[in-house]
Amino acid sequence: MSKEVLLSLNSVSKTYELGEVKVEALKDTSLDIYKGELIVILGPSGSGKTTLLNIIGGMDRPTTGRVLYRGKDITLFNDKELTLYRRREVGFIFQLYNLMSTLTARENVELATELVENPLPAEQVLFSIGLKDRLDHFPSQLSGGEQQRVAIARAVAKNPGLLLGDEPTGALDYETGIQILALLRKINVDYGATVVIITHNVAIAHMADRVVRLRSGEIVEDRVNLEPIPAERIVW
Amino acid sequence: MRTLDRRLLRTILGAKAQYGAVVIIICIGLAAWISISSTAENMSTALAEYYSQHQFADLFADFTQVPVNTIDDLAKYKEVEMVEARIITDIRADVGREFYPTLRLVSIRHEQEINRLYVQAGRIPATAGERGIALLNVFARENNIAVGDKIDLIIRGELFPVTVTALVDSPEYIYAIKDIKGMLPDNLNFGIGFINLPLLQELMAMPGQANNAVITLRPGVDERALLEEIKEDFKGRGLKSMITKEDQVSHALIELEIQQLQRVSKAVPAMFLGIASLVIYMLISRLVRADRISIGILKATGYSNFELMEHYLKLALILGIVGAIGGITGGYILAGLMTQLMLDYFHLPLMEINLYFGFVFVGLVSALLFCGLSGIWAARGVIGIAPAEAMRPKAQLLGKKSLVEKWAPAVWTRCTFSWKLVLRGISRNRRRFVLATAGVALTYALILFSVYMFSIWNIVVDQQFGRLETYDYAISFLEPVGSDATVDLRRQVHAPIIEPFLELPFELTYGWHRQSVLARALPRTSQLYCFEDQEGNLVSLPSRGVLLSQGLANSLGVKRGSVVELSSYITGGQSYLVPVTAVVAQYLGSGLYLSLKQMERLTGQKGTFTGVVLTSSDDVKGMFQNMANIESICSRTDLADTFSEYMGVIITSASFMICLGGLLGFSILYNTTSVSIAEREREFSSLRVLGYFKPEIFRLIIRENAIATAAGLIIGAPLGKGIVVIMMNAVTGSTPELFYFPATIKPSAYFIAAGLVIGFMILTLLAIGRKVNRLDFLQALSSRLN
């Protein structure tokens, strides 16, 4: 695996003001994400992992610190530049799929591919993740696992540099969860995508190239997993 | 098509009824704009063309019987371009019907220049020796008279046969009414006949004489100033009255109609487009709120604020465009129908049905502007949605005390739980409640106005012919008669009451206002005229002083107690100052009433009358129609019949207005309630989990709407009254001396209108009821689809 840094967080902190109360979601956090790795960020509820993911994905801005993507500080980006960053470089996968109910599986993917110059063909991506027979189904006609596959296809089809998954298996049963994780690894391998998964499910860490553990807004562990196992062997 | 656009289309199709209702409002607004504006423009253009081609006169003068030379002197004014001396006289004619209609004979010249006739069929009678007449087309049609038919003119009791050589239209009688009291044309019983001047002079025994003049002026002349100058110069030379084109009855009424159309053409679309944009604002802001997570996802995927705002703006514009297409098409069809309807009342031979692209353009731009602005205003909510924020569950709405809770805690504690839910719901969504209330208020105001229009004609006719004038017949004489005429009449007909009257033209001056009026002198103890002031108090004819009708008083700025100046050709131009002892209610035409004694003091005329009014159950028209010296016999039943015929048009247009109002209310309530249901799906689902039945949940919605309706009715009542006052001022403001409509709304009208509004609300709730029934409450609780 090459050690080219794709994204680098330098002393990033994030404070939310809720009325008179200040909540420090992230505290002086530094982290490098390497190109082509599959990284799992672990942490319990309220540990700051979603905040971290949102900052990486250009959906939120840190209170202090710098975030460098391919050497460019995205914290200095204006709204338009941040939008372009998300458009070209980032693919999101959410716990609750968040598909457009009035669009078919294919159209949900096309919604993303229309935004970029060199997308992967929507149908090809949907075929590759096993939704060949579900192209023209609306989300309400799909199972949870199938919906999450569509969400993954939507993220992947843009051919982004970074694929970010926020508890991608959180709403799925065990078998389906495993299938989704295997799919993420497949995408990581087949398309060379850098995948960042945040989860509270410790078992998922076994498939990661690297594991980062967060607690109360701080990184308490950052280790390389020397022997990642295939998703199919994970048990929880 | 872009995927986002496909989503938009599906969003629209998913809420067809809601968006359809908005489209209908836009359609109505634009259809009203295009049809009414086009009709007004068609009329206005045709009128201008007609007047120009047929040399419509600028001034009209009534003279006593004077030598033609006297009238020709008018040509000496340098401002005057042409003068034509004429004879105008009302006679009766035997046209082969049981009753003789009144025919106004108007002299024409062989080389007619001013007010040239438009020949529909036949030819203008030749000068030399031909006893021919050209009849107003509409009168001939009503009486089944064709070119070549013979009719008998009844003059001084003798029959003079004449041949109908032509059926014509005249720019002077586009709207042919005998006098303004008739208000509506009665083409069966009143018509115009055009006869060459020499023949008419011979028939009327007026050799070398005339009694009327029409004048055209050179361009740029101040006609009012010239009119005053002529009046001054012709004092004592037989000039009875003189008016400008603006005061000529046919012209004034057609102009009034055009002005009314122009006013309505602006007000109605503005109101409908305004409402449509409010509803669009509400729908799109609701959509943006509901799409919060989708917007977050789209932003996370890389869509910019501009692209997303454009997405929602497109929705508004699609509604605007679809509405505009429907409105323009409907407007074009309606313009044809309306123009045709106008042609039935106003006989404008050059009128064509044209669609003006200027109106289409303005309509389209207005629709896009109204919809676009409301769309932008609503879609700006997109900017405030941060992608990271949108992923999190939405913060709970702040629990606030409702107004009832704050201001009337005692009432609040007595409210049942479901009522509390209703009040809290209203308190939490005040803006939507205000829109629903405003919708009901506007609907109520519109319907109230329509019901008022429905009833006003009855009020006007009842006041004029049931209270002010209570006679059965009014007989006008060609030549004034002495008091023995009433004795003769009494011998021939069973008439419990016969009262003579003397009607003479006067010039009425107050300050800088001046007006030509027909003053009617009556016996002081008249039983057939019953005057009431504005408060409904009975007013008797004063021994000294005069009574003025409300419209006339308004146009002159006269009040009770004012002293006005009266002069007439009969007084030799001498002016008299006379006090106005009361201003009386009279809605049709204008009136100056005085006692016979007061008239005698002003004119020196004693014991002569120009007509009588009487009550009788006999067939007076039939009995007297062969009598010499009778100009016309009017029966109250004839007038009432004419108005009854017109009531059909009133009923149709008022019903149309009521339907429009109802549609407006339906559209607003349907949308506000649909949005309310959609936004409270989870709340209702929780209630279902608690054990509420669907009808109980529906009852909450009914109660919310009932409160909005009650508030709307309270606000709508003064709003409706305001619309009535403004519209009536607009209608009668420019010509109060012609007619005056009281802006009085009967209490029953308020109740009828409220009943209709409640009816429309029930229909809306029935439509909404299906929505509540179809709601999948469990799905609503678990759904995370966007």
* pLDDT of B571 above 80: no
Short-list B180, B349, B347, CA closest to B249: B180
Banded model confidence at residue B731, pLDDT cuts 50, 70, 90: low
Interface list for A 140-159 with B (CB within 8 A): 140, 154, 158
Banded model confidence at residue B583, pLDDT cuts 50, 70, 90: very high
Give me B380's structure tokens.
């700006």
pLDDT given for residue A1 in this prediction: 46
Give me B347's structure tokens.
């006989």
> Between A57, A114, A139, which is nearest B3 by CB?
A114
* pLDDT of B196 above 90: yes
B210-214, B296-300, B441-445, B567-571: segment of lowest average pLDDT:
B567-571
Interface list for A 38-57 with B (CB within 8 A): 50, 54, 57
pLDDT given for residue A18 in this prediction: 73
Do the bridges between strand A194-199 and strand A38-42 make them parallel or antiparallel, or are there none, so unpaired? Answer: parallel
Q: How many helices (H) and strands (E) does chain B have?
A: 24, 22
The residue of B299, B301, B396 whose CB has the most chain A CBs within 10 angstroms, and thus the best one to mutate to test that interface, is B301
Q: Are B253 and B71 in contact (CB under 8 A)?
A: no
**Percentage of the residues of chain B whose pLDDT score is greater than 70:** 94
Banded model confidence at residue A80, pLDDT cuts 50, 70, 90: confident
A12-16, B115-119, B565-569: segment of lowest average pLDDT:
B565-569
Q: Choose between B347 and B188: higher pLDDT.
A: B188
Domain ranges of chain B: 1-57+249-395, 58-248, 429-471+636-786, 473-616
B3 to chain A: which residues are within 8 Å by CB? 103, 107, 110-111, 114
- Is the CB of B388 less than 8 angstroms away from the CB of A60? yes
> Between A57, A84, A96, which is nearest B300 by CB?
A57
Reported as a single tens digit per residue, the pLDDT across A27-51 is: 999 999 999 999 999 999 889 998 9
The residue of B9, B287, B297, B299 whose CB has the most chain A CBs within 10 angstroms, and thus the best one to mutate to test that interface, is B297
Q: Are B404 and B361 in contact (CB under 8 A)?
A: no
Q: Which residues of B touch A (CB under 8 A)?
A: 2-4, 6-7, 10-11, 14, 293-294, 296-305, 386-388, 391, 784-786
pLDDT given for residue A172 in this prediction: 82
Asked whether this complex has an ipTM greater than 0.85, the answer is no
**Beta bridge pairs of residue B150:** B163
Q: For residue B331, which phi and psi values (nearest 5 degrees)? A: -60, -40
CA-nearest residue of chain B to A78? Answer: B304
- Is the CB of A92 less than 8 angstroms away from the CB of B301? yes
B38/B43 Cα distance (integer angstroms): 8
Q: Choose between B582 and B185: higher pLDDT.
A: B582
Q: Are A206 and A199 in contact (CB under 8 A)?
A: no
Mean pLDDT computed over every residue of chain B? 86
Reported as a single tens digit per residue, the pLDDT across B119-131 is: 999 999 987 678 9
Mean pLDDT computed over every residue of chain A? 90
Q: Are A39 and A225 in contact (CB under 8 A)?
A: no
Q: How many independent structural domains does chain A possess?
A: 1
Reported as a single tens digit per residue, the pLDDT across B231-270 is: 888 877 888 888 889 888 889 888 888 888 888 888 888 8
> Between B2, B296, B388, which is nearest A114 by CB?
B2
> Between B3, B386, B784, which is nearest A110 by CB?
B3
In the block, tokens 């016969």 appear at B498
Kind plus residue range of the DSSP H or E element containing B440: helix B430-461
pLDDT given for residue B400 in this prediction: 63
CA-nearest residue of chain A to B292? Answer: A98
Residue B149 three-state SS:
coil
- Is the CB of A92 less than 8 angstroms away from the CB of B11? no
pLDDT given for residue B55 in this prediction: 92
Q: What is the largest CA-CA distance in chain B?
A: 103
* pLDDT of B374 above 80: yes
CA-nearest residue of chain A to B3? Answer: A111
B82/B475 Cα distance (integer angstroms): 36
How many C-beta atoms lie closer than 10 Å to residue B569's C-beta? 22
Residue B474 three-state SS:
strand
A58/A46 Cα distance (integer angstroms): 20
> Between B303, B387, B785, which is nearest A140 by CB?
B785
Q: Looking at residues B44-65, what average pLDDT do you find?
A: 92
Beta-sheet strands, E only, within chain A = 5-18, 21-34, 38-42, 64-69, 72-73, 90-93, 162-166, 194-199, 210-215, 218-224
Residue A201 three-state SS:
coil
Please report, for residues A13, A43, A54, A76, A82, the alpha-carbon distance to residue A51 in angstroms, rounded to integers and kept in the order given: 10, 12, 5, 18, 16
Please report, for residues B59, B444, B447, B521, B756, the alpha-carbon distance to residue B751 in angstroms, rounded to integers and kept in the order given: 49, 10, 11, 42, 9
Reported as a single tens digit per residue, the pLDDT across B589-631 is: 778 999 999 998 888 888 889 999 999 888 888 787 777 777 7
Banded model confidence at residue B786, pLDDT cuts 50, 70, 90: very low
* pLDDT of A66 above 50: yes
Give me B127's structure tokens.
């000068």
A148 to chain B: which residues are within 8 Å by CB? none
- Is the CB of B785 less than 8 angstroms away from the CB of A116? no
Nearest-neighbour CA in chain A from B390: distance (Å): 10
Reported as a single tens digit per residue, the pLDDT across B410-431 is: 888 888 877 888 888 888 788 8
What is the separation, in whole angstroms, between the first and last Cα of chain A? Answer: 28
Short-list B462, B551, B491, CA closest to B515: B551
CA-nearest residue of chain B to A18? Answer: B395
pLDDT given for residue B785 in this prediction: 42
* pLDDT of A185 above 50: yes
> Between B301, B391, B785, which is nearest A101 by CB?
B785
Reported as a single tens digit per residue, the pLDDT across B248-258 is: 888 988 888 88
Beta-sheet strands, E only, within B218-286 = 239-244
A107 to chain B: which residues are within 8 Å by CB? 3, 6-7
pLDDT given for residue B689 in this prediction: 67
The CATH number that applies at residue A159 is: 3.40.50.300
Tell me how many degrees the CA angle A179-A182-A184 measures, rounded to the nearest 5: 110
- Is the CB of A102 less than 8 angstroms away from the CB of B386? no
Reported as a single tens digit per residue, the pLDDT across B317-343 is: 999 999 999 999 999 888 888 888 787
Length of chain B: 786
CA-nearest residue of chain A to B302? Answer: A87
DSSP string for B270-312: HHHHHHHHHHHHHHHHHHHHHTHHHHHHHHHHT--HHHHHHHH
* pLDDT of B723 above 90: no
Residue B409 three-state SS:
helix
- Is the CB of A59 less than 8 angstroms away from the CB of B300? yes
* pLDDT of B443 above 50: yes
Q: Choose between B435 and B417: higher pLDDT.
A: B435
B295 to chain A: which residues are within 8 Å by CB? none
Non-local CB neighbours of B559 within 8 Å, separated by 6+ positions? B553, B580, B583
Class of residue B723 by CB neighbours under 10 A (exposed 0-12, middle 13-18, buried 19+): buried
B481/B47 Cα distance (integer angstroms): 41
Reported as a single tens digit per residue, the pLDDT across B15-47 is: 888 899 899 999 999 998 999 899 999 889 989
Range of the domain at A206: 5-233
Query: How far, in whole angstroms, is CA B538 from its chain's centroid?
Result: 30
- Is the CB of B300 less than 8 angstroms away from the CB of A112? no
